[in-house]
Amino acid sequence: MSRSYSQPGFPATRLRRLRKATALRDMFRETSLSKSDLIYPLFIVEGEIFKKEISSMPGQYQMSIDNILLECGELLSLGITSILLFGIPAEKDEVGSGAYSDDGIIQKAVRAIKSAHPAMLVITDVCMCEYTSHGHCGIVEGGYVDNDKTLELLVREAVSHAEAGADVIAPSDMMDGRVAAIRKGLDDAGFTDTPIMAYSAKYSSAFYGPFREAAESAPQFGDRKTYQMDPGNSDEAMREIALDIAEGADIVMVKPALSYLDVIRRTKDEFNMPVAAYNVSGEFAMVKAAAERGWLDGERVMMEVLTSIKRAGADVIITYFAKEAARII
């Protein structure tokens, strides 16, 4: 058989040699997923013995606290030790008072989870959108979200979560200065060791559609473009992340993940900080819908998606695929 020597190093260098056997491919894989990379989001509602599937997110549910405790037991048995909590209150008002009530849904859930499953790392989303009657992430005055008035309520919410036992506080509101305000609030309340996972580069994305059904948090008017980021901007994301780090963020997050892999990579390269990425509801739903129609192999695509996010630079991935992935890893 004739050989071509046009490629430098050929035939002495043959990259296919290390792809020949499964053991070799496994041995030299550059990016691997582990169960500790995964954070599983949960949606908590008031009541008892309640579990309702989210129509646009197959296999995901709104659950009452009793079922959340059962879910946490299953997660731990699978090796998933981190969860991100979203609360859906029974009642909403203009100022989102359920977000910072000592008897709020998240506060009650955190206390119950930490009592029943102390090994579970509990991360709480800090925002107002699930709790406000208008669905925006802060105090609305004159049709506009007032940044500085919102900060006061976010601090109250964050401190109340820490008092309930939350291990990590994750502000997702995208108000200017909220990391510094929350850091000071936590420190003043004696929670100097409670980390902040900041949603630092959170884009105004159409990929959040299914989440808004799950969290019942769609805005009742307008949109969130005045506080969430424009999808066309990555330099701005670096400025947002730099500010959050300067204000005291311990972990920075890029959301969504799959359409913003370049932002994840830039974040890791420029800051060398712990980076989280949120594999959001729309990214999950697309794979599920295509797999249900037989258009692709859902399991393989799931693992490829998660691996790509890790390869881009994410240290941890918030994903609705966590349970399925954990059964494979």
> Mind telling me the catalytic residues?
202, 255
Give the Å distances, CA to CA, from 24 to 1, 11, 155, 214. 27, 20, 51, 43
Query: How far is the C-alpha of 174 from the C-alpha of 118, rounded, in Å?
Result: 30
Q: Is-contact 318 84, C-beta < 8 A?
A: yes
Q: Contact 319/279 with Cβ under 8 angstroms? A: yes
Q: How far is C-alpha 302 from the geometric centre of its chain's CA atoms?
A: 16
- What the block records as the tokens of 305 is 């998606």
Which residue type, as a one-letter code, is found at position 138? Answer: G
Beta strand 139-141 pairing with 144-146? antiparallel
Residues pairing with 39 in the sheet: 318
Burial class (CB in 10 A: 0-12, 13-18, 19+), 165: middle
C-alpha–C-alpha distance, residues 210 and 288, integer Å: 12
Strand 275-279 vs strand 251-255: parallel, antiparallel, or unpaired?
parallel
d(CA 12, CA 8): 9
Residue burial 2-37, b: 16+ Cβ < 10 Å; e: rest: eeeeeeeeeeeeeeeeeeeeeeeeeeeeeeebebeb
Distance of CA 306 to the CA centre of its chain: 13
Q: Which residues of 270-286 are buried (b: 16+ CB within 10 A; e: fewer)?
A: ebebbbbbbbbbbbbbb
Do residues 145 and 227 lie in contact, with contact meaning Cβ atoms separated by under 8 Å?
yes
Token readout for 121 is 């790392």
